[in-house]
């Protein structure tokens, strides 16, 4: 790749120099803030902005983050090609260009391009997606808690952006579209391999349990009845950790970020070692968590159901492993067919059948399944590292091209097939981390 002929220094904190013929302009010179309200709730298409993904329909968001308000008359209107930024999360990548007409809550800033013949929205979108840019916005944040800082618009509008001539902006955007599409294709290949491995893992687990002929309903293997969680809201601090569906990752482990707490709760909601939690609704309905011996008290939220296992009859680990099988996935889908929404009640979970055998045989199956999971997860680790490296390559490419470190003006961009990328908002596996 070629460099530009000459460069000049800038006073931008995150960018030392730009090509000599480029300009530098404040955000307020390029955009105006769109403040149009959704009067009389004429628009009912609610949008959301998700970290590292961008603007999506709210219905694709699942149980991640805050719930939408029923009254959207105070929401802001959004139009295609508007830049949207979460005022409190833009510094971690919660921003992007909208492809939709819809509405967003007051926490978002909506930026409308002033002069389309002078600025290319796709080039500017890549500037906003540049990690060095959006991470630099943290210094503008106002607030007491570091993870709840709000960037005021009166400061954001004075942030400076590098601006090439319009034809060059278009070429840069087209070049990045092409190259990032090529990288996305490679990422999709690795993700397909992971999906195949997950399915193989489910089938292998099912095979180990298929050797057992006897079955018992879950409710007959409990020491207490199934229990719905607390319909409350957690706080930033407290004595009891408050576990929600979104706190459980794809490997059934508790996450260490965005932790909420309760000051107190009824003792019946406190978890004990060996308790199994089931997600009862939302995009990740059916997700499970096996509670291990932890330090400190933990309680669980209303969208979760607790199963307290009778350990004299069956091992909680034995049940939990069966919940990773293909048989469990088939059962979940059969429940969804009978319902208009994805929801599994305590009654349905209570009647879920689990292969039952003596504790000696349970231990043998646990050992075999643990070995299966460990082998497959090791292979997946390698694939996740490949994906992480490819995503880092994307970021590096964006940073190099939009800041003028690489000259792409004379590169011929071929015809290419667009990769179909499905936003994985609710993928709580390691990719989210």
Task: Provide Rg for the chain, Cα atoms.
Answer: 25
Strand duo 215-217 + 353-355: pairing: antiparallel
Please provide the distance, in angstroms rounded to a whole number, between the alpha carbons at the two ends of the chain: 32
pLDDT higher than threshold 60 for residue 66: no
H-helix or E-strand containing 29? helix 27-30
Q: Are 184 and 415 in contact (CB under 8 A)?
A: no
Reported as half-sphere exposure (CB side, CA atoms, 13 A), residue 298 has a value of 21
Q: What distance in Å separates the CA atoms of residue 297 and residue 294, rounded to the nearest whole number?
A: 8
Among 250-254, 314-318, 364-368, the least confident range: 250-254
Asked whether the CA dihedral 11, 12, 13, 19 is positive or negative, the reply is negative
Q: How far apart are CA 258 and CA 228, in angstroms?
A: 22
Dig out the tokens for 98 from the structure.
């909208």
Least confident among 119-128, 245-254, 356-365: 245-254
pLDDT band for position 62 (50/70/90)?
low
Place of tokens 């429940």: 335
Give me the phi and psi of 396, to 5 degrees please: -65, -40
Q: What is the rounded average pLDDT for all residues in the chain?
A: 91
Alpha helix (H) ranges present in 146-260?
153-156, 166-210
Whether 206 has a pLDDT exceeding 90, the answer reads yes
The CA-based angle 352-61-74, given to 5 degrees, is 130
Does residue 392 have a pLDDT over 90?
yes
The reported pTM is 0.83
- Let me know: does 53 contact 425? Beta carbons within 8 Å: yes
Task: Tell me what pLDDT residue 424 has.
Answer: 56
Instruction: Report whether pLDDT(371) > 90.
Output: yes
State the pLDDT at residue 282: 74
* Whether 301 contacts 242, CB under 8 Å: yes
Each residue's pLDDT tens digit, 72-114: 889 999 999 999 999 999 999 999 999 999 999 999 999 999 9
Q: How confident is the model at residue 426 (pLDDT cuts 50, 70, 90)?
A: very low
Angle separating helix axes 359-402 and 166-210, nearest 10 degrees: 170
């Amino acid at each position: 790749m070629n460099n530009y002929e000459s460069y000049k220094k800038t006073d931008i904190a995150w960018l030392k120099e730009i090509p000599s013929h480029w300009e530098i302009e404040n955000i307020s010179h390029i955009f105006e803030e769109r403040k149009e309200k959704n009067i009389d709730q004429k628009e009912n298409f609610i949008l959301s902005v998700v970290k590292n993904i961008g603007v999506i329909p709210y219905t694709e968001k699942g149980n991640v983050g805050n719930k939408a308000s029923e009254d959207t008359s105070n929401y802001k209107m959004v139009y295609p090609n508007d830049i949207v930024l979460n005022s409190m999360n833009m510094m971690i990548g919660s921003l992007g260009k909208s492809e939709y007409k819809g509405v967003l809550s007051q926490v978002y800033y909506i930026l409308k391009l002033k002069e389309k013949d002078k600025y290319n929205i796709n080039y500017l979108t890549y500037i906003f997606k540049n990690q060095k840019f959006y991470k630099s916005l943290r210094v503008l944040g106002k607030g007491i808690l570091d993870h709840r800082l709000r960037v005021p618009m009166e400061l954001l509008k004075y942030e400076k952006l590098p601006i090439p001539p319009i034809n060059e902006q278009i070429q840069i955007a087209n070049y990045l579209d092409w190259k990032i599409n090529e990288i996305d294709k490679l990422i999709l290949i690795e993700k397909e391999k992971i999906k195949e491995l997950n399915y193989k893992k489910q089938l292998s687990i099912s095979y180990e349990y298929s050797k057992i002929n006897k079955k018992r309903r879950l409710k007959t293997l409990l020491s207490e009845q199934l229990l719905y969680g607390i319909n409350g809201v957690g706080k930033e601090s407290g004595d009891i950790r408050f576990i929600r569906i979104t706190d459980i990752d794809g490997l059934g482990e508790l996450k260490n970020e965005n932790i909420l707490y309760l000051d107190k709760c009824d003792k019946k909601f406190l978890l004990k070692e060996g308790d199994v939690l089931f997600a009862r609704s939302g995009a990740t309905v059916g997700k499970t968590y096996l509670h291990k011996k932890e330090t400190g008290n933990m309680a669980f939220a209303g969208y979760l159901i607790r199963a307290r296992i009778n350990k004299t009859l069956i091992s909680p680990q034995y049940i939990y492993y069966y919940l990773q099988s293909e048989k469990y996935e088939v059962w979940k889908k059969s429940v969804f067919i009978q319902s208009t929404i994805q929801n599994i009640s305590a009654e349905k979970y209570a009647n879920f059948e689990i292969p039952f055998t003596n504790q000696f045989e349970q231990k043998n199956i646990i050992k075999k399944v643990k070995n299966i999971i460990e082998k497959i997860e090791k292979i997946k680790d390698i694939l996740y590292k490949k994906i992480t490296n490819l995503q880092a390559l994307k970021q590096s490419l964006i940073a190099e091209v939009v800041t003028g470190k690489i000259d792409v003006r004379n590169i011929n961009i071929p015809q290419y097939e667009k990769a179909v990328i499905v936003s994985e908002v609710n993928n709580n596996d390691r990719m989210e981390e």
